[in-house]
Structure 1
Amino acid sequence: MAWQLFRLGRWSFNHRKAVAAFWVVLLAVLAIGATTLSGKTSDKFELSGIESTQAFELIEQRSPQASPDGATARVVFEAPAGRSLTEPSYNSAVAAAVRGLTTENVQSVTDPFTGGTISPDGRVGYAAVTYTKTSAELADADRTALERAAHAAEESGLNVAIGGDALTEFEMPLAEVIGIAVALVVLAITFGSLVAAGMPLLTALVGVGIGMLAITTLTGFVELGSTTPALGTMLGLAVGIDYALFIMSRYQSEVRAGRSLEEAAGRAVGTAGSAVVFAGAAVVIALVGLAVCNIGFLTQMGLAGAFTVAIAVLISLTLLPAILGFAGDKVMKGKPRYLRNAAGETAPRTHGRRWVEGIARHKWAALAGGIALAVLASVPVASMQLALPDDSSKPAGSDARVAYDLIADNFGAGANGPLVVVVDTANAADPAAAVQTATDELQAMAGRAGSDIATVVPAITADTPQARQAFTQQLAAVDFATVTVIPASGPSDQATKDLVAELRTALADLPAETGARALVTGQTAVGVDIADELTEVFPLYLAVVVGLAIFLLIAVFRSIWVPIKAALGFLLSVGVALGATVAVFQWGWLNELIGLDTTAPVLFILPILLTGILFGLAMDYEVFLVTRMREAYVHGTPARQAVIDGFTHSARVVVAAAIIMIGVFAGFALVDDVILKTVGFALAVGVLADAFLVRMLIVPAFMLIVGERIWWMPKWLAPLVPTFDIEGEGLTERLDSADRDAAKEPVLAGR
């Protein structure tokens, strides 16, 4: 493979105009596609086959006009201190605002006065609006009606806040600017040249552009989650810069060793490019492996991320050498001292060399201390709670947060996340009696001491002959009824999650008693069900992804212990990342630093998403760091010295790459969107732990302790594992042999 990559790098260098034209044309075509074919994204998490979504599907099938997946809005009205919404002027203002909420896509509007959503003191009330379309599908007229209604009520002296997801419009954050700024500074220091520093940024931006435009075009044919493009941007930018950085570093080393620019480009792609290919393959395996979870939005995120990573690899192998061809010797201006070793002999005493020599002197202490620190940082994971994000985690002062707090303070925290019990009466002998039986059971639960049920709202609220007759007719038409359960605790509280299980247990005998069945749904129930599914498939995901990646690393390093050590080190990195996330988001430690002013459970998809992404990135650093150690070892350097030499040559570049990646992820940790904030923070901490604690401390300490045995592989396994020559030994021998033959030709011709 190294030879083929050498040829690709050299060809791209020589045919730079054609290569550059190809990527520019592809970028332009995708830009046209994104402009003309793109659709809207969705901000809902859905999973078929679980009870909560089965309830939604039942409602949609039997009452198509009722869209359980439609957008919602809560318009909260607050009278000034000492005043009441029941006063005539405020009453009429609220009534006018409620009338103005109705649009073509509105399914229902609950008036505060008739719907019972006025606080006991009369000062606060809210109108609940449900739509027939999702937030992404709403028309501008729907959002305009909400804003005009709120503005009209405010003109009468009321304070108005709008919660729910109807006004949610996801926009790509400016977090990329932070990552690019960090990357430019680090690259300029690393290469000592702004021209050289700009090349990895240019190729990374082209890769991100192609990836995002392709994903945007795809939204015209498939509904994608709103965070999917952002995740692709985050990963594409980070790995795109890093992959180009490694190849650029090798290119400069080859030029300083006396190679021609053309040959240096080929050798850089053939050696460092081989590491890039396998590092990218590890990331792609980890991300595509999310598909084994069989959860749609996770699969989308994984495939989008894998696509942008694959594009980053291809661009690093082709467009980068082409740009190097255009730049000529300009990329060699500015020579940092640590890169001036022209002949490739043992590197001077850099900070990296002093560091690894210090580890060599205290290897047992370094190993024990590193593991102890990682384990200590992972302790908070034991108390981790998972939940869907809600408006309680929105920034303080935002409309959604103000609306959430007003409802929680005046109606109880559970009013922000009601549970819905859907009673399916299709097989009930007496449908009305079956609904009443379910309602009686729920009300009995609410009356027990210590119950977390604040209120049970029955399917029929008016006890009159006319109301009962209308309810019976409606029940006969759709064969289901809904009973609303208002918890006493908030949507993300553990008590509310426990209540979901208690409701299902209490209603488990309903089919035997009445022939009807009860399905518990609602935002909290959806989160509980998805979290349970993720927990169930997580071991399978780990087995598939880690197994494939370990096999890949066995083939790369021809060793059993290097891949096992890499996987165990990765587990330490995940533990640190999750522990820090729990401490900041759930416990509130230093959360103001990333713009949080409240505590909440951890994003429910974080553990499995973090595992997939961080595993691939951790393997990146493992490949880039250990490849140079392996390269020194296969060229005859003793095992201990190979660790020191390989670390010295690669540590600074790995550190630069890690700082860039941390900068990219940290930028996303500062945005307002809680999903991107959580993922960005966890990945920034995970990369920090993996690069500096695991790869810079634990890995060299362990390898120095094990010595030559680190490269051991059973004889029976060797023939079964393909050889990839990632160190480029075969490539070097082939090129050196060609150089020797070329040197002999003039002598032969003279004879």
Structure 2
Amino acid sequence: MSQFLYRLGQFAARRAWLVIIGWIAVIGILGGVAATAGGTFSTAMTINGTDAQTTIETLEAKFSDASRGIGQVVFHKTDGLPFTDEEKENITAALVSVHELPAVDDTVDPFKTQKKLDSNARDVADAPAKFSDGQKKLDKGQAKIDKGLKDLAEARVDLADGRVELTAGQRKLDKGLSKILSAAAELQANKEGVEYLIALATDDGDPENLLPGLRYQLTLINDGLAQIAAGRQDIRDGQAEINAGWAGIFDGEQQANDGDKTLARAQRKLDRGQVKLDDARAEFASARIIMEGAAKFRVVSADNQTATGSVMFTTPISEVETFDKAAVVSALSGTATENIQVEFSQDLTRSLGGLLGPGEIVGLLVAAIVLFVMLGTLVAAGLPVLSAIVGVAISGASSVALAAVVESTTTTPILGVMLGLAVGIDYSLFILNRHRRQLKAGMPVAESIALANGTSGNSVTFAGLTVIIALAALNLTGIDFLGLMGSVGAAAIAIAVAVAVTFNPAVISLIGMRVLSTKERRALADKEMYDSKPSTTSSASVFATRRPLVSLFATLAVLGIAAIPLLDMRLGLPDGSSEPTDSTGYKSYHLTQDAFGEGVNATLLVVATSPVPITEDNELAFQAGATKLIMGVDNVESTVPGGFSDDRTIAIFRVIPAGGPNDVSTQNVVHEIRALDAEFHAALDSSVNVTGMAPINIDVSEKLSQALPIYLGTVIGLSLLILMLVFRSIWLPLIASAGFLFTVFATLGAVTAVFQWGWLGWLFDIHDPAPILSFLPTMLIGILFGLAMDYQLFLASGMREAFIHGKSATDSINYGLRLSRSVVTAAAIIMISVFGGFVFSHTTMIRPVGFGLAVGVLVDAFLVRLILVPAALKLLGPAAWWLPRWLDRILPDVDVEGAKLERSIAHQ
């Protein structure tokens, strides 16, 4: 590799403009691709296979509108008075106009929505009285029917009595008629006999004077017949009365039967009314459960001074063009008046923005100052910065172009810029510093460029490869967005290395001797050759070797104290409260929180899935049953049903917890709802899942916690292997790796103290302390490992070289420190400056990353590499360089510093 880089340096020096133009062409091509076909960046962090992400994917598949992007707008009265009708109409009109925009699918008017919510609440409140009135009417109707049935029953009794009386009268009448008929027959026979006797007596002349007696008897018989005739008339009259009675009976029975039918119809109608009332009561019981669950949900605050509207886009929010969001913001901003404040959620206003903000530029300026102080010339100081900018331009354009085909987070390109700047400057500096030493020793420019590229360039390549491996290993976590960030960071490092060993030599060749200050060039002209090797005082003791125990324990104490906050570290994802206080996202977040409670910003989406479609008849009961189960969880403020999937197998619920997105109570709510799965199966024959910010945070944190030991073990194992290969030692790799762990613990402790506890918040603009970014520990481990190995390689190479050439163990340590500590110190200060600039980044998610890297480099370079490791090596003495012979034989010989190349050049 050294020979290849030597020849590459020669080529770059001889064909400087070709190399420079080639890099400019690469920037132009990638920049053009990024500008014309570049993608957009998402703020969402997803992990495939987790419950929250799987739930989101299910919703997108089952709900036709689930993938629509949603933005929120907050309207707030600043005069302390409720919204007037005119103000409400203006806001409604603005939302209607937004609905007409091509990218907008729908809008939600808060005042209409709240009016409907209030109306539903009143309906539920009035329902018991209405049910009571309805029941009273039904009871009154039932009483009438019961009275009618009673009257009919009494009438039927009377009719039955009448039948009995009429039957008895008929028998009596029939009996009387029989007697009359019998008497009439007897009298008629007697009459005929008397008339016969009278006729005989008359014919005989009545000799015995019988005629008077017979005539008297006939008179009596006729009188009897007359009486019988009158009796028969009475019988006929009685029969007529009986017949009339029977007609009355028949008519009464018909009326009773008609009454039965009428009452039966009335009873059926009343029964249907009772069923409807009972069904309404059952629906009301479900509706009351649902309304009680949603009682605290509002879109217009109780004091009528804050309202939240929503804008639904036709595409996912990550695919909505910036100008479409700007059109929405512009249209709704027009409702702002002296008394109305209008703020927007992060989804509508957050964009990638510039890759470099004021803080990052200040960091670059500090790095430039450090370079100028170290190198003594503006030309030389500007070269590392220029090389870094070239690398960043390429990696940044590549990230934007890559986003067109791979979903990337907003932190991905910024991380590439951060690493590209810091590492690009340092790597260029290492080569430039070696070149300057050689020039001061009298070496020709072209030869010096090639040799610096073959020696320090080899170290840079090896160090860069270490960082690349560490970052690429983030893919081992199985977390897509983290693996992508690692890959982009690794690509940025690879580009920085490529620029350092090609573009850097080309520009150096054009600069020529101007990389030296005027004083240095004058000294060379006067033949005052500088020795590129350290002076004889190079082995003078440093504090770490003079007081090893004090250095060791003092450093461990400082690191231990710094690591204490790590015990309280919690992981989370950023929300609106982490935005700058003057941003509309921050204002929107807090206006919403103040008006509706913390939980509104931590809304959970609970999904109940049934194996069979939920019918319309059962949907209310299903929603009520699910609401009852969810509301039984502690710290749940409200539960609002959100409808059913297209195939009616999934019901969604908007659940608002009592705490904010990163509160422990909210995380407990998520765990408890997930634990309700068995109860959902038992009560509703369905399963339950949860998604939202808190569930995603939980799943991300759990996934990372599972992956972190594997990743950390990989990194530590890699550290041991690399250092063992390079330095042919057992103890040095162990000490260096342990030092790396101390760096990680102290760094994460400092991050926790500042960003979670809020210490020095006034300095770092930490206005709302919150849990640490969930992927930060893993990301810091990967990046800091690579940088720590860089510093260890540069410092320990000189120690190893001195020890091999016969110096004592202590002198070797002092020699190596004095040989490289100035450039390592400068490189560390540059990295701290660059990373520190990102602490004030406009992208709040990148701030803790910048802070953690700045503190990590500070701790690792100045405490661990320059004090802790040298002190430990001093205490070990010659044993620090011990390696078993069998292991020495099987390990390949790695020439990191290009010593073989340097020796071969010296013999030519």
- Whether these two folds match at TM > 0.5 is yes
How far apart in 1 are the matches of 2:605 and 2:348? 20
Aligned position for 1:159: 341
8 Å CA contact 1:136–1:169 kept in 2: the answer is: no
1: CA distance between counterparts of 2:788 and 2:616? 57
**Higher alpha-carbon deviation: 688-697 or 126-135:** 126-135
Between 304-313 and 74-83, the greater mean CA deviation after superposition: 74-83
User: Is 1:265 the counterpart of 2:263 in the alignment?
Assistant: no
- Residues in 2 aligned to 1:446 and 1:84: alpha-carbon distance in whole angstroms: 31
Deviation at 1:145, TM superposition (A): 4.4
Conservation of the 8 A alpha-carbon contact between 1:427 and 1:515 = no
Deviations 1:74-112 (A, max 9, x none): 211122434212x32222123223323324443543332
Distance 1:583 1:406, change over 3 A: same
The 10-residue stretch of structure 1 (380-389 or 536-545) with the greater mean CA deviation from structure 2: 536-545
Q: Does 1:587 align with 2:757?
A: yes
Q: Which moved more, 1:266-275 or 1:600-609?
A: 266-275
1:368 aligns with 2:536: no
8 Å CA contact retained: 1:419, 1:484: yes
Aligned to 1:410: 595
For 1:565, what is the secondary structure of its paired residue?
Answer: helix
Would the alpha carbon gap of residues 567 and 146 (structure 1) be closer, same or farther in structure 2, given more than 3 Å must change? same
Distance in 2 of aligned mates of 1:617 and 1:319: 22
- Which residue of 98, 101, 105 corresponds with 2:98? 101
| 1:347 and 2:535 aligned | yes
How far apart are 1:445 and its partner, in Å? 5.3
SS in 2 for 1:530: helix
* Alignment CA distance shift 1:56-1:363 (3 Å): same
CA distance in structure 1 between the partners assigned to 2:566 and 2:743 by the alignment: 12
Q: Which residue of 1 aligns with 2:88?
A: 91
Identify which of 512, 531, 542 aligns with 1:328: 512
Aligned to 1:695: 865
- C-alpha displacement at 1:62, in angstroms? 1.5
Contact 1:257 1:343 in 2 (8 A): yes
Distance in 2 (CA, whole Å) between partners of 1:436 and 1:635 is: 86
1:658 corresponds in structure 2 to: 828
Deviation at 1:437, TM superposition (A): 5.4
Among residues 623, 645, 667, which one is paired with 2:793 in the alignment?
623
User: Could you tell me which of 162, 166, 170 is aligned with 2:352?
Assistant: 170
Cα separation, partners in 2 of 1:614 and 1:434, compared to 1, 3 Å: farther
Cα distance in 1, alignment partners of residues 351 and 787 from structure 2: 30
State the shift of 1:251 in Å: 1.3
For 1:169, what is the secondary structure of its paired residue? coil
The residue identity in structure 2 corresponding to 1:588 is G
TM-score (norm 2): 0.75
Instruction: Give how far 1:410 is off.
Output: 1.5
1:192 corresponding residue in structure 2: 376
Q: Tell me: CA distance 1:269–1:457, structure 2 relative to 1, closer, same or farther (3 Å).
A: same
Amino acid at match of 2:669: L
Judge conservation of contact 1:66–1:107 (CA < 8 Å) in 2.
no
Query: How far apart are 1:235 and its partner, in Å?
Result: 0.2
Please tell me whether the aligned partners of residues 442 and 529 of structure 2 are also in contact (alpha carbons under 8 angstroms).
no
Q: CA deviation at 1:403?
A: 1.4
Whether contact under 8 Å (1:90, 1:156) holds in the other structure is no
Q: Does 1:421 align with 2:615?
A: no
Work out whether residues 756 and 771 of structure 2, in 8 Å CA contact, stay in contact via their aligned partners in 1: yes
Paired position in structure 2 for 1:205: 389
* Shift in alpha-carbon separation, 1:736–1:157, aligned structure 2, 3 A: closer
Offset at residue 334 of structure 1 (A): 4.6
Q: Quick one: structure 1 residues 141 and 280, their matched pair in 2 at CA, closer, same or farther if it must change by over 3 Å?
A: closer
Q: For the residues of structure 2 that align with 1:336 and 1:608, how far apart are their CA atoms? A: 45
Structure-1 separation of matches of 2:645 and 2:448: 77
Counting only pairs closer than 5 Å after superposition, residues 248-259 of structure 1 correspond to structure 2 as 248-259=432-443
Residue type of the alignment partner of 1:6: Y
Residues in 1 aligned to 2:608 and 2:490: alpha-carbon distance in whole angstroms:
42
Alpha-carbon spacing, 1:482–1:303, altered in 2? closer, same or farther (3 Å): same
**Once the 2 structures are TM-superposed, how far is the Cα of residue 682 of structure 1 from its aligned partner?**
1.0
**1:315-714 equivalences in 2 (<5 Å):** 315-334=499-518, 342-347=530-535, 357-427=542-612, 436=621, 439-440=624-625, 442-444=627-629, 446-447=631-632, 451-459=634-642, 477-511=647-681, 514-714=684-884
Alpha-carbon distance, 1:14 to partner: 3.0
- Residue 403 of structure 1: SS of its match in structure 2? helix
Partner residue of 1:300?
A: 484
Pair 1:726 & 2:723 matched: no
Q: Which moved more, 1:678-687 or 1:195-204?
A: 195-204
Distance 2:453 2:753 in 1: 42
Segment drifting more, 266-275 vs 107-116: 107-116
Q: Structure 2 CA distance, aligned partners of 1:161 and 1:317?
A: 50
Task: State the SS of the aligned residue for 1:343.
Answer: coil
Deviation sequence 1:222-252 (CA, Å, 0-9, x none): 2322221111010011001101111111112
Is 1:77 matched with 2:75? yes
The residue that corresponds to 2:410 in the other structure is 226
Aligned equivalents of 1:140 and 1:500: distance in 2?
33
Q: 1:347 to 1:84 in 2, by over 3 A?
A: same
Tell me if the contact between 1:192 and 1:336 (Cα under 8 Å) persists in the aligned partners: no
Contact 1:428 1:516 in 2 (8 A): no
Q: Please state how far the C-alpha of 1:712 moved relative to its aligned partner.
A: 1.7
How many angstroms apart in 2 are the aligned matches of 1:186 and 1:141? 41
Deviations 1:631-665 (A, max 9, x none): 22223322211110110011111010001001111
Which position in structure 2 is the counterpart of 1:150? 332
Q: 8 Å contact 2:63–2:646 — kept in the other structure?
A: no
Cα pair 2:630 2:639 within 8 Å, conserved: no
**Matched AA of 2:550:** A
Shift in Å, 1:40: 1.6
Matched residue type, 2:350: T
Distance 2:439 2:642 in 1: 78
The answer on whether the counterparts of 1:225 and 1:300 sit within 8 Å (CA) in structure 2 is: no
Q: Deviations over 1:377-429 (max 9, x none)?
A: 01001101111100011122321111111111121100111111111224468
Distance in 2 between the 1:32 and 1:306 partners?
A: 23
Residues 324/529 of structure 1: CA separation in 2 closer, same or farther (3 Å cut):
same
Inter-partner Cα distance in structure 1 for 2:646 and 2:500: 64
Note the C-alpha offset of 1:210.
Answer: 1.6
Structure 1 residue 117, shift from structure 2 partner:
1.1
Find the residue that maps to 1:153 and give its secondary structure: coil
Which deviates further from its counterpart, 195-204 or 111-120? 111-120
- Name the CA distance, whole Å, in 2 between partners of 1:483 and 1:432: 19
SS at match of 1:165: helix
- Amino acid of the structure 1 residue aligned with 2:535: A
* 2:31 equivalent in structure 1: 31
> Aligned partners of 2:892, 2:70: CA distance in 1, in Å?
56
Structure richer in helix, relative to its length: 2
| Alignment-derived partner of residue 465 in structure 1 | none
Structure-2 residue corresponding to 1:466: none
Q: Does 1:123 align with 2:297?
A: no
SS where residue 477 of structure 1 aligns?
Answer: coil
Give the Cα separation in 2 of the matches to 1:335 and 1:694: 36
Distance across 2 between alignment mates of 1:28 and 1:475: 48
The amino acid that maps onto 1:133 is: T
Quote how far apart the aligned CAs of 1:297 are: 1.1
Greater CA deviation, 215-224 or 40-49?
Answer: 215-224
Cα deviation 1:160-200 (Å, max 9, x = unaligned):
21124122221123244223211211111111111211211
SS at 1:274's partner residue?
A: helix
How far apart, in 2, do the equivalents of 1:431 and 1:536 lie?
43
CA distance in 2, matches of 1:302, 1:554: 25
Task: Provide, for residues 514-547 of structure 1, a one-character-per-residue CA deviation record: whole Å limited to 9, x for no partner.
Answer: 4421110112111111111111111111222332
Q: 1:467 corresponds to which residue?
A: none
Secondary structure of the residue that 1:290 maps to in structure 2?
Answer: helix
Structure 2, gaps ≥5 residues long: 115-297
Tell me if the contact between 1:438 and 1:510 (Cα under 8 Å) persists in the aligned partners.
no
CA distance in 1: counterparts of 2:624 and 2:520, whole angstroms: 76
Q: How many residues are matched?
A: 717
Residue 17 (structure 1) shift: 3.3
TM-score, length-scaled by structure 1: 0.90
Deviation at 1:430, TM superposition (A): 6.9
Question: Which amino acid in the other structure matches residue 530 of structure 2?
Answer: A
**What is the root-mean-square deviation of aligned Cα atoms in Å?**
2.5
